[in-house]
């Protein structure tokens, strides 16, 4: 498991979110441009220290409801 200093974790999370924004399609770009303060805290304080990487994580999934509406 990798140890991250706070500054390195912040840089890693920022780069991860930018990569996600660039590859997002459908409703995700709008969702990724909202306030992500809680998502960033989750990534920085919990997921990155525990997993050592953010590879395989995809924040802000588009969900299609039973009535076919995307949210």
Tell me whether residue 71 is in a domain.
no
Tell me whether residue 67 is in a domain.
no
Distance, CA of 4 to CA of 22 (rounded, Å)? 25
Host domain of residue 46? 6-51
Tell me whether residue 19 is in a domain.
yes
Overall domain count for the chain: 1
Distance, CA of 34 to CA of 41 (rounded, Å)? 14
The 10s digit of each residue's pLDDT in 7-59 is 688 899 999 999 999 999 888 888 899 999 999 999 999 999 999 999 999 88
What was the pLDDT predicted at 18?
95
Could you tell me the maximum CA-CA distance found in the chain, to the nearest angstrom?
45
Residue with tokens 């990155």: 48
Tell me whether residue 65 is in a domain.
no
Which one is predicted more confidently, 40 or 71? 40
């Amino acid at each position: 498991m990798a140890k991250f200093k706070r500054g390195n974790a912040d840089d890693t999370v920022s780069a991860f979110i930018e990569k996600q924004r660039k590859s997002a399609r459908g409703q995700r770009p709008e969702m990724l441009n909202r306030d992500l303060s809680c998502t960033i805290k989750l990534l920085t304080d919990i997921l990155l220290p525990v997993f050592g990487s953010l590879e395989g994580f995809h924040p802000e999934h588009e969900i299609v409801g039973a009535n076919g509406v995307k949210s």
